[in-house]
Amino acid sequence: MRKYLKRFLIVLFLLVLMYSAWPFLAAPWVCHIGGDVVCFGGVAEVTGSVWGPCNYTGAVEIVDGPPVNWGRGGFKCVAAGRAGGKTYAVFIREAVADYPTGDPFKSVAERDLCYCAKKRIVPCIFIVRPDVLLAHVGILVVDVEEGVSYLFIGYWVAPYHLNHSRFIFGSDGVYLVDGLVAKIGAKREIMGPLLKGCAYRVKIKLEPNKLTISQPLYNATVRAVRVG
């Protein structure tokens, strides 16, 4: 009898140990976001044109991007025009996050597990989550002809905060104004640092024939970062 009891206690101890260690063992992969992160140059003074609002009636599908938790609705075109002999379009879409991580990536269960691992919470069941959703935004800059696209995540930036005036179409590409750059970027892992001025290089499916661009409204000289 003692022999079986001893075995039972050993097995129980190992199960408890594995259960306690699971968040820490899972941290490397559950916190990792993935995606091809690229970073651009610093802020510089540039002169370019602000183009008017655009209209897009097709679908936008990101093929190989990071696992973003998107909100309702699809991508909306907010600016499109010509820059450096090419056509560029800028789309936005709501990205939803919650407490405690504040990051709009992966599932709730994966975010919670990452939080437990980083905060060393064992067991990973006592997480206080206020019933509040955090509105972030995805900003997708697309080279329409070549299909090269860059996805930024804007933290504490709601979609209604963005319009065509925040993007400059210069002689060699699209620029993001300095005030916007301070709030957007990319992350390599949940709860990791925001890499400002960086983005995820993604492949997309777009219907160029359903994109209608406007006209340049005015010229502007601003401090901005070039995309690409």
In the predicted model, what is the mean pLDDT of the chain?
84
Q: Phi/psi at 27 (nearest 5 deg)?
A: -55, -45
Of residues 47 and 134, which shows the higher confidence score? 47
- The DSSP-derived string for 65-87 is ---B-B-SS--EEEEEEEETTEE
Per-residue pLDDT, averaged over 183-210, amounts to 94
pLDDT tens-digit profile of 12-53? Answer: 433 444 444 545 555 567 899 999 999 988 888 999 999 999
- Of the pLDDT bands very low, low, confident and very high (cuts 50, 70, 90), residue 5 is very low
The type of residue at 67 is: P
pLDDT tens-digit profile of 69-92? Answer: 999 889 999 999 999 899 999 999
Structure tokens at 139: 């900003």
Q: Which residues contact 37 (CB under 8 A, 6 or more apart)?
A: 186, 188, 195, 198, 199, 200, 201
DSSP class of residue 189 equals: B
Q: Is the entire prediction scored with pTM above 0.95? A: no
Per-residue pLDDT, averaged over 97-120, amounts to 88
Contact 142, 149 (CB under 8 A): yes
pLDDT of residue 133: 74
pLDDT of residue 129: 66
Of residues 39 and 180, which shows the higher confidence score? 39
Residue 161: exposure state from Cβ atoms within 10 A (0-12, 13-18, ≥19):
middle
Per-residue pLDDT, averaged over 99-127, amounts to 83
